Amino acid sequence: MSENSKIRRPSASERSRVEPFHAMDVLAMANRMIAQGRDVISLCVGEPGVPAPDAVLAAAGIAVEKGKLGYTDAAGTGSFRERIALHYQTHYGVSIDSGRVFATTGSSAGFNLAFLALFDVGDRVAIATPGYPAYRNILRALGLLPVEIETDQSTRWALTADQIRAAHAEAPLRGVLIASPANPSGTMMDATAIKEIVDVCEELGLWMISDEIYHGLTYGDATGIREETALRFSDNLIIINSFSKFYCMTGWRIGWMILPRDLVRPVERIAQSLYISPPELSQIAATAAFEARQQLEQVKDGYKTNRAIMLDALPKLGFADPLPIDGAFYAYASVENLASDSMEFAKKMLEETGVAATPGLDFDPKRGPNYMRFSFAGTQSDIERAMERLGEWEKMSK
């Protein structure tokens, strides 16, 4: 018997038993192939292929040069919060007090803080499937119950007020989380659809959280649907947003929330202990991001071209019925005509073509095996090369 066998120790917590990201298996395989020298085109990642805008890098450079970077208020610096409040005025025409802006370490920290400040263990929170898997996993890790409501083309893949009423009648909900544009679907809710959710939450006494991280990345001229902030319809809800997507700043880990005034203090108390403050360097850099709109619109024009290339190519390759891509940078399409399990299909496709895409299982445990998500956040040449390779593969398999 070894010495170590005498050591007794509890196992990992129940709450840590959230689903892993199954898509990481595909990513790991892609990385192994790259290490072997294979030319892999990854359409997996949900992040811009370009660096942060010049103004952001310049502001960060000056701040680093000065050298002193420290803790800030848990909610962020006054000037950063004011700049975000100004963005609501200039971009949406919605006036808010900067005291309601709360800076976070990416929107991911925003979810932790919002869920902790709004909900107690066992509370039920409605989310849509398909949807961003971290919603479900963070809720579960915090001892909350995600109520996954299936959406389909009949509601343009968005939650409706009737679905929320029905779920609440089954067993009381405490909150509802929506995203528009959404990941992986890319679909958006118009102003009327968002207002209906705001109204039903107020009628039933539920917290509403609106994830607006893909704002800015919308293709309204192609789809007719304009982005709208839920804040236009009520001050009694929580907006979560981030510099990761439109502003091309994933690695800077900086985002924000807009809170009802009486929630600022509860969120602040939790944030002080969980995070102390968001990184000061990222707050300084992100303040400059608002001045880089022109450069960022050019990046978005690139996504728009990529979107058109994919929407043309994917159905011809057998990836059926891509969901309406109103925004974000993903095409989510059915593989039912090609395979019965998108995870196995993704691995085969990667092995035989060197093109990596994300199987749907993470986004939708039930229907995900019939779907794949293709990100078009990369370069046009990568998207074109990937579609060409899939085209040749499709011809060979005939």
Ligand X SMILES: Cc1ncc(COP(=O)(O)O)c(C=O)c1O
Q: How far is the CB of 121 from ligand X (least distance, A)?
A: 23
Which of residues 111 and 354 has its CB atom nearest to ligand X in the complex? Answer: 111
The answer to whether the beta carbons of residues 201 and 164 sit under 8 Å apart is: yes
The answer to whether the beta carbons of residues 274 and 113 sit under 8 Å apart is: yes
Extended strands (E) in the chain? 41-42, 101-104, 124-129, 145-150, 175-179, 207-211, 238-242, 255-258, 330-334, 355-356, 358-359, 371-375
Which of residues 77 and 108 has its CB atom nearest to ligand X in the complex? Answer: 108
- Cis peptide bond N-terminal to 279, omega within 30: no
Q: How far is the CB of 32 from ligand X (least distance, A)?
A: 23
Q: How far is CA 25 from CA 30, 55, 141, 344, in A?
A: 9, 37, 22, 11
Q: How far is the CB of 179 from ligand X (least distance, A)?
A: 5
Q: How far is the CB of 2 from ligand X (least distance, A)?
A: 43
Q: How far is the CB of 268 from ligand X (least distance, A)?
A: 20
Residues making contact with ligand X (CB under 6 A): 46, 106-108, 132, 179, 183, 211, 213, 242, 244, 250, 255
Q: What Rg value do the Cα atoms of the chain yield, rounded? A: 22
Which of residues 207 and 247 has its CB atom nearest to ligand X in the complex? Answer: 247
Q: Which two tokens stand for residue 4?
A: 């170590």
Q: How far is CA 361 from CA 24, 172, 366, in A?
A: 11, 28, 7
Which of residues 72 and 282 has its CB atom nearest to ligand X in the complex? Answer: 282
Q: How far is the CB of 251 from ligand X (least distance, A)?
A: 9
Sequence-distant (≥ 6) Cβ neighbours of residue 261 within 8 angstroms:
97, 99, 100, 235
Which of residues 107 and 353 has its CB atom nearest to ligand X in the complex? Answer: 107
Which of residues 179 and 349 has its CB atom nearest to ligand X in the complex? Answer: 179
